[in-house]
Amino acid sequence: MALVLIVSQAIAQSKKGSANVPNRPKLVVGVVIDQMRWDYLYRYYDRYAGDGGFRRLLDKGFSCENTFIPYTPTYTACGHTCIYTGSVPSIHGITGNNWYDNELKRSVYCTEDKSVKSVGTTTDAGVMSPKNMLATTITDELRLATNFRSKVVGVAIKDRGAILPAGHSANSAFWYDSKTGDFITSTHYMNDLPQWVKDFNAQKLTDKYYAQGWNLLYPADSYTQSTSDVKDYEAKPFGADQKGFPYDLKRFIGKSYGTISSTPYGNTLTAEMAKAAVKNEQLGADAITDFLAVSFSSPDYIGHAFGPNSMEAEDGYLRLDKELGDLFRFLDETVGKNDYLLFLSADHGVVHVPGFSKENRLPGGTIDDAVWMKALEQPLQAAFGASKIITGTWNNQVFLNHSLIDSLKLNEEDIKNFIVKYISKQEGVARVFPVDELMEVPLPAKVRDMIASGYYPRRCGDIQYILQPGWIDGGPTGTTHGLWNPYDSHIPLVFYGWGIKPGKTNRETYMTDIAPTIAAMLRIQMPSGTVGHAITEVAH
C-alpha cells in the first residue's frame, strides 16, 4: 500500500511539473543585417516581393520603429555583441572591431584567441573565439536554462558575426575563410568539422555564383531610389575596369574567394549555410528550444564600397529580400510556421558617401586621423622632448604612450591639451576633449551617455573626438559608419512568429532591449551584463 502511495505521489508530481514547464518555441532565429539603416524597410517597401521577406515581417510581425544603438562607436563587433548581451561596450568589453589594449600594449582583434586553433582550414582565420566578450549572451542563457540541452549555432561570413552572437557556450559557430572559400570554425567549439559542413564546402558554391555574374534583378530604369550606375565616389571592388552593371565575376573563379562578400551572393551563401545548419543539426526538431544566430555580412561590404544611394545597395536589398523569403519558407516547412520566434535587426547603419553629399549640397566631408597623428609628431617632440608620445588612434580616440610619459615624467595633462588644441582646429571636428573630462564637456546628454556607454578603460583611449554630421574618417570613395548620429544608430527591429501579435510602436526602444525581451518571452534569465529592458508590447 505504501509503495502504491509513493508511486502515485511521484506520478502526480511529474504531471504537476509538466504543467509548469514554460511554453517556448521550438526555435529562436536571430537575424542581423550588417549595415542596415532603419529607413531601408520603407525605402524599398513597394519593391519587396509580396509577403516573402521584409514585407512579411512588417505586415505580420511587430516593428519597433524607433530602435536606437545607445553607445558609440557603432561598429560591427559592438553591435552584434550588444544585441545578444543586452549590454554595452562599457560592460561587455567589445569596444570596436579592433582596439588597443592598454595592459597588453598592442592592438587586439575582437575575436582573436591565440589559445585555439583553426578547424577546417590551414590558415589562421580560425584562431578565434568569444573569449574577449566579458558577459553572457541570450544564447548562453538559453543553454544554461535547459542544462545545455538547447542547441545553439552561429552562421555568418564574418567571424565576429557568427562568434559573438553564438556566445561562449555555443555548440558551434561557422564563418567564412576568404582565402579558401570554405566555412570553418575553431577548437573552441570542436576538433573537426561535421561531415555536413565538409559536404557543404565541397559544393564550391562560391565558384558557381561567380559564374553567374552580378547583373540587376530588374530593368535599370526601375531603380528610381538610386543614383545613376557609375559615380566617381564609388569604390571598385571588382577591378578598376568594372565601372558598373553587369559585373563579370568569372575572373574570380578558383581564386579571390573574399570578393563574394561584396556581392549579394554572399547573402545567398549565408542563407544556404543557415538552412544546412537547421537541417543537419536538427534545430527546432524537438521540444527543447534551440537558437540559430545568423548574420548577413554582405550588405556591409556593398554599402562601404558603393554607399546607401547606389544601385548596388538597392539591388542588394531586393535580392536579400528574396533570400529572406526563401529562408522563412524553409523554416515554415522544417520547423513549423508558428513554432519559431524570429527577430530581425542590424548592428549599425551607414552615412551617405561624402561625395554624394557634396554633389547634392548636403553637409559632409572626410578627415584622416592618421594624417593628424603624423602632423603632430614633430610639434610634440619639440614641445615635450620625446617622440612616439601617441600610440595611435582607434575608434575615434587618441591613445597615449603612458609608459613613455611616466618614464620621462612628462606632464600628461599638458600633452592632452596640446593634442586637443591641434585637433580642435581641423575641419569636420565638432568636439575634442580628454575622456576623463567627458562629464564636464557641454554636450547633449544623449551624446554624452553614448560615449560613456562605449568606454571600457582597458580598451579605450585618452582623447575623444566627435565629427560633424555627415563627416567620416575615410578617403575619396566609399563610406563608413561608427558615430552617434541617427544614420548610424537608428536600426530596424522586427519580431515575428511564435507569440508575436502584429503591430508596431513608435516609442524609443534600444538595441539592448532585444536580449531581455527574448529572455522574458522564453522565461529565462537575461544575460549577465544586461542594461536593457523587455519591450512589453512584444513580451506581453
Q: What is the pLDDT of residue 21?
A: 57
- Which pLDDT score, from 0 to 100, does residue 22 have? 74
Report how far apart, in Å, the C-alpha atoms of 386 and of each of 390, 398, 412, 419, 448 are.
10, 17, 13, 14, 33
H or E element: which one contains 405? helix 402-407
The list of the chain residues with pLDDT below 70 reads: 1-21
Residue spans per domain, the chain: 27-358+485-522, 365-468
Is 289 annotated in the active site? no
Answer whether 27-358+485-522 and 365-468 agree in fold. Answer: no
Secondary structure (3-state) at 260: helix
User: What is the model's pLDDT at position 16?
Assistant: 40
CATH class of 27-358+485-522: alpha beta
pLDDT at position 51, please? 79
> Judging by DSSP bridges, how do beta strands 152-156 and 172-177 pair with one another?
parallel
Three cell numbers, residue 459: 580598451
Instruction: Identify the pLDDT of residue 19.
Output: 44
Where do we find the cell 512588417? 58
Which of 72, 74, 76, 512 is catalytic? The answer is 76
Rounded CA separation 471/480 (Å): 10
What is the topology classification, in CATH, of domain 365-468?
Answer: Gyrase A; domain 2 (3.30.1360)
Rounded Cα distance between 347 and 490, Å, is: 10
According to the model, what pLDDT value does residue 52 have? 84
**What was the pLDDT predicted at 50?**
82
- The 10 Å Cβ neighbour count of residue 432 is 21
